[in-house]
Amino acid sequence: MTLLDKLGQLVVAIVVFAAIIGLVLFVADRARGRRAELWQSILFLAPSALLLIVGLIWPALRTIYQSFFDRTSTNFTGVSNYLTIFTQPELLLVLRNTALWVVITPILATAIGLVYAVLVDRTRFESFAKALIFLPMAISFVGASIIWKFVYEYRPNQGNIQQIGLINQFLVWIGLEPVNLLLQQPWNNLLLIMVMIWIQAGFAMTILSAAIKAIPDDITEAARLDGCGNVRMFFSITLPSIRPALVVVLTTISIGVLKVFDIVRTMTGGQFNTSVIANEFYSQSFRINDYGIGAALAVLLFVLVVPIVVYNIRQMRKVNAR
Amino acid sequence: MSGLTLRRPSRTTTLMAAAIGTSLVLAGCGGSGGGGGTAPSAQGPECAAFTQYGDLNGKTITVYTSIVTPEDQPHIDSYKTFESCTGATVKYEGSKEFEAQLPVKVAAGTPPDIAYIPQPGLLASLVRDNKAIKPAPAAVSANVDKYYPETFKSAGSVDGTLYAAPLGANVKSFVWYSPTKFKEKGYAVPKTWDEMITLSKTISAAGEKPWCAGIGSGDATGWPLTDWLEDTMLRENGPEVYDQWVKHEIPFNDPKVAAALDRVGGILKDPAFVNGGLGDVSSIATTTFQDGGLPILEGTCYMHRQANFYAANFPEGTDISENGAIYAFELPPVDASKPTPILVGGEFVAAFTDRPEVQAFQAFLSSPEWSNAKAKAGSDIGQSGWLSANTGMDAANLSNPIDKLSVQVLQDSNNTFRFDGSDLMPKAIGSAAEWKGMTDWITGKSTADTLTFIEQAWPKS
């Protein structure tokens, strides 16, 4: 396809979009009578509702349906796909890894972000320090994974072979044997989680720093006058004041972590017992062509994410209402 | 009130204008795609072999493959004569996500005209599960009967019907080594498995590591070990047991399979034998297959078992020849008195439509003209590692001595062949459980546990 073709398609897409919006506006404008406002709202909602149904709701229903069928979606098998997920040792390991991710990542990323935000708050080099930890946010998961793969890279300690991985080079410098890090089970999961924390700590730091700055000065001043020390200040004033922001950060990271796929696929491809639900869903569906188990894993992921999303939205409303 | 009625028509006209504009653009876009075909150029002598395909002027054939840059260029070049003589256009699309995306395209109802499928197991599942592939047309069947060995024909067939003609081929049972280094140290190319082990011990006793290997390959990590296992299955148990194993007539954790895997372990799991220049046994799992044999060049490793296509991984300018820096010997038999089948692999041309131009292109791809054109196109740009099992192929068109040797092996009617077992097995085994199992095996899992894991993953339906 030439550049000209692509530009042509771009123009067509824009014109079609404008035409549809124009049509909606035109029809809405013609609505008359007592219920005009109702009709107008329906019309304005229709395009996005339609896209949601086609792109989200219908596929979701179909996935749930498929999860009760066999490999090729032809024979009904009841809950056997779910039974497989919860009984087969390899898939149980996937669930264990996902649990590790969900427990460790949000807590560590938020804790690091919070401590960092408190430490650099109102210091001379605050914006520079913040930029340092925020920068990884700008790197894609795949890019970050490749960077960290090099950090963990292993070369044997033989003859004149040089280490190319940062960590192993340090080990060799202090006189230890290099370690094939990504093979050390189950610790290799933590090495992968590290990448996610590296990316997400910046996000946590930014939100929490803003929340800390929003704590009214009269509260902190009153506390200081009452003789409140730094530690007491953090636990009795800062933490309670930013609780809603903290919950939003924790839940947002949790949602991202449940869906983590890029890091695992790039760094280990799910090998060496590091697979997680999203990665296993992909390989079951598209590599093994077992759409039943693939769909069941997707549904499981959906079921796990929904409560967190609901909680997240509720807290977000609370934050906004303040 | 009057103000409103005045404004309204003007708004309507604007929208009308916009709508007309849209349809004009759409019409213009649709038009550009249609009449783009160019007339066949002057029918020169090189077009004589193409008259059988008729006039395909203005027709387009889409090809979807896993062969990506730089290996795609000789493919694209090899279609040029076909395109200029028949007037058809071949649209080539290579994707690294081919195996995952092809079934998606098929399920979505937008398959390509032709796909180059590297695994007969995937072909079989597309035929049986999706009923998406057209049987090979008569001209293709005739070519395959005339030019290809039976092993390749049956690998492209499902339930006795030929669906896909072979395209490229590779010979897997090779051990790469350095003739100059062997000569320098006084080592001889082993003729039997025992001699090979003795040689390994000699090298090991001299304080060096005889073998190097790497099985890393993204989410296909583990596949080089499946080739190892297939090679030792053939040597340990012979072709009949091999066929039973591939068809699942004996279980994957049969003692015979265990014996073959232990034979692999005798080399790759022995810390005294591996992993030359790359680390300990477990480093096999994290070394990419591309890097697995390179230590031979650096002198830190002596032997590396990999197919003929590994030639492409050595740096440009490496002297690959019988007395050069790099060459390969056939993986020796366990029992030299019995002929050992040669392990082969390859990709296959499956068609999702039976339009005449697509069938003509299929016939072209199965002809010796194409195999030779492809070989020449590769040699012209200095690529090696590709060959075809087409007996009409002239080895002189290949530049690499290992490729030439492979063609001789394939064309020798005394040889028997067996197709790559993991590629024949269902995808759940050959492209998933076996890869994972083998990766776990090399990082410490026992032979029995590994084989039982793979056996349990065999699809029930």
**Cβ–Cβ of B436/A271 closer than 8 Å?**
yes
**Cβ–Cβ of A156/B283 closer than 8 Å?**
yes
Which domains can be identified in chain B, with CATH numbers? 54-171+344-418 (3.40.190.10), 174-339+425-456 (3.40.190.10)
**A residues 38-77 closer than 8 Å to B (CB):** 70-72, 75
A188 and A309 belong to one structural domain: yes
Cα separation of B370 and B82, whole Å?
9
Cα separation of A209 and B352, whole Å?
58
Is the dihedral angle over the CA atoms B361, B367, B369, B374 positive or is it negative? positive
**Coil, helix or strand at residue B91:** strand
Nearest in space to B412 (alpha carbons), one of B398, B424, B395, B400:
B395
Q: pLDDT-based confidence at B381, cuts 50/70/90? A: confident
Q: Write down the pLDDT at residue B266.
A: 95
**Coil, helix or strand at residue B207:** coil
Cα separation of B303 and B209, whole Å?
9
pLDDT tens readout for residues B81-113: 999 999 999 999 998 888 888 888 998 889 999
Cα separation of B257 and B108, whole Å?
39
Those residues with Cβ within 8 angstroms of residue B112's Cβ, 6 or more apart along the chain or in another chain: B62, B63, B64, B93, B105, B352
Question: Closest to A22 (Cβ–Cβ): which among B15, B431, B461?
Answer: B15
Q: Write down the pLDDT at residue B3.
A: 39
Those residues with Cβ within 8 angstroms of residue A6's Cβ, 6 or more apart along the chain or in another chain: none
Do strands B89-94 and B60-65 pair parallel, antiparallel, or not at all (unpaired)? parallel
Is B255 in contact with B274 (CB distance < 8 Å)?
no
A268 and A237 belong to one structural domain: yes
Q: Write down the pLDDT at residue A159.
A: 64
Cα separation of A110 and A247, whole Å?
10
Q: pLDDT-based confidence at B130, cuts 50/70/90? A: confident
- What does the block give as tokens for A285? 């569906």
A114 and A41 belong to one structural domain: no
Q: Write down the pLDDT at residue B30.
A: 38
pTM: 0.80
CA B312 from chain centre, in angstroms, equals: 14
* Ordered DSSP codes for A259-317: T--HHHHHHTTTTTTT--HHHHHHIIIIIS--HHHHHHHHHHHHHHHHHHHHHHHHHHH
**∠ CA B264-B268-B271 to the nearest 5 degrees?**
140
Is B428 in contact with A290 (CB distance < 8 Å)?
yes
Is A155 in contact with A178 (CB distance < 8 Å)?
yes
pLDDT tens readout for residues A61-97: 999 999 999 887 888 988 999 998 999 888 999 999 9
Tell me the shortest Cα–Cα distance from A29 to chain B, in angstroms.
Answer: 10
Cα separation of A113 and A131, whole Å?
12
Residue B16 has pLDDT above 80, yes or no: no
| B349 strand-pairing partners | B116, B165
Angle between helices B434-442 and B255-268 (to 10 degrees): 50
**Cβ–Cβ of A159/B300 closer than 8 Å?**
yes
Q: Write down the pLDDT at residue B67.
A: 87
Cα separation of B363 and B247, whole Å?
30
Q: pLDDT-based confidence at A24, cuts 50/70/90? A: confident
Interface contacts (A, B; CB < 8 Å)? 100
Q: Chain A residue closest to B453 (CA)?
A: A90
**Mean pLDDT for chain A?**
88
**Cβ–Cβ of B285/A158 closer than 8 Å?**
no
Cα separation of A240 and A292, whole Å?
46
A227 and A276 belong to one structural domain: yes
Q: Chain A residue closest to B275 (CA)?
A: A156
Q: Write down the pLDDT at residue B189.
A: 95
A90 and A226 belong to one structural domain: yes
> Is residue A162 a part of any domain in this protein?
no
Is the dihedral angle over the CA atoms B107, B131, B363, B172 positive or is it negative? positive
Q: pLDDT-based confidence at B334, cuts 50/70/90? A: very high
Q: Write down the pLDDT at residue A1.
A: 58
Question: Closest to A180 (Cβ–Cβ): which among B29, B220, B286?
Answer: B286
**Cβ–Cβ of B428/A289 closer than 8 Å?**
yes
Is B371 in contact with B390 (CB distance < 8 Å)?
yes
- What does the block give as tokens for B377? 């196109």
> Is residue A148 a part of any domain in this protein?
no
Percent of chain B with pLDDT over 70: 90
Those residues with Cβ within 8 angstroms of residue A150's Cβ, 6 or more apart along the chain or in another chain: A164, A165, A166
**Cβ–Cβ of B300/A265 closer than 8 Å?**
no
Helical H segments across B60-192, by residue range: 72-78, 80-86, 98-107, 120-128, 138-147, 150-155, 179-185
Cα separation of A96 and B343, whole Å?
40
**Cβ–Cβ of A286/B432 closer than 8 Å?**
no
- Find the mean pLDDT for residues B324-339: 90
pLDDT tens readout for residues B243-265: 999 999 999 999 999 999 999 99
Question: Closest to B26 (Cβ–Cβ): which among A12, A75, A156?
Answer: A12
- Find the mean pLDDT for residues B194-220: 92
* Ordered DSSP codes for A157-186: --TTPPP-SHHHHHHHHTTPPP--GGGSTT
> Is residue A38 a part of any domain in this protein?
yes
Helix or strand (DSSP H, E) at A104: helix A89-120
A131 and A248 belong to one structural domain: yes
Residue B63 has pLDDT above 90, yes or no: yes
| Per-position b or e across B150-166, b if 16+ CB within 10 A of its CB | ebbbebbbbeeebbbbb
Q: Write down the pLDDT at residue A287.
A: 80
Residue B32 has pLDDT above 60, yes or no: no
A47 and A94 belong to one structural domain: no
- What does the block give as tokens for B336? 């030299």
CA A294 from chain centre, in angstroms, equals: 20
Q: pLDDT-based confidence at A321, cuts 50/70/90? A: low
| Chain B residues within 8 A of A269 when measuring between CB atoms | 218-221
* DSSP, res B249: S
| B342 strand-pairing partners | B417
- Find the mean pLDDT for residues B130-141: 92
A91 and A34 belong to one structural domain: no
Those residues with Cβ within 8 angstroms of residue B70's Cβ, 6 or more apart along the chain or in another chain: B383
Q: Write down the pLDDT at residue A199.
A: 92
A191 and A259 belong to one structural domain: yes
**∠ CA B432-B435-B436 to the nearest 5 degrees?**
85
Q: Which of A66, A95, A120 represents a domain boundary (last residue)?
A: A66
Nearest in space to B88 (alpha carbons), one of B111, B51, B114, B59:
B59
Domain of residue A91 covers 80-143+184-321
- Tell me the CA distances in angstroms from A8 to B30, B31, B33, one per residue in order: 11, 12, 12
**B residues 23-52 closer than 8 Å to A (CB):** 25-26, 28-29, 32
A29 and A136 belong to one structural domain: no
A203 and A269 belong to one structural domain: yes
Q: pLDDT-based confidence at B6, cuts 50/70/90? A: very low
Residue B275: cis peptide before it, omega within 30 degrees of 0? yes
Give me the residue label for tokens 């994410």.
A305
Is B287 in contact with B277 (CB distance < 8 Å)?
no
| Chain A residues within 8 A of B18 when measuring between CB atoms | 15, 18-19, 22
> Is residue A59 a part of any domain in this protein?
yes
What's the number of domains chain A is made of? 2
- What does the block give as tokens for A307? 């409560």
Is B210 in contact with B301 (CB distance < 8 Å)?
yes
**Cβ–Cβ of B12/A26 closer than 8 Å?**
yes
- What does the block give as tokens for B134? 């057209």
Maximum Cα interatomic distance, chain B, rounded to a whole number of Å: 107
Cα separation of A157 and B296, whole Å?
18
CATH no. for residue A255?
1.10.3720.10
Cα separation of A153 and A163, whole Å?
8
**Cβ–Cβ of B29/A270 closer than 8 Å?**
no
A52 and A109 belong to one structural domain: no
Complex ipTM above 0.85? Answer: no
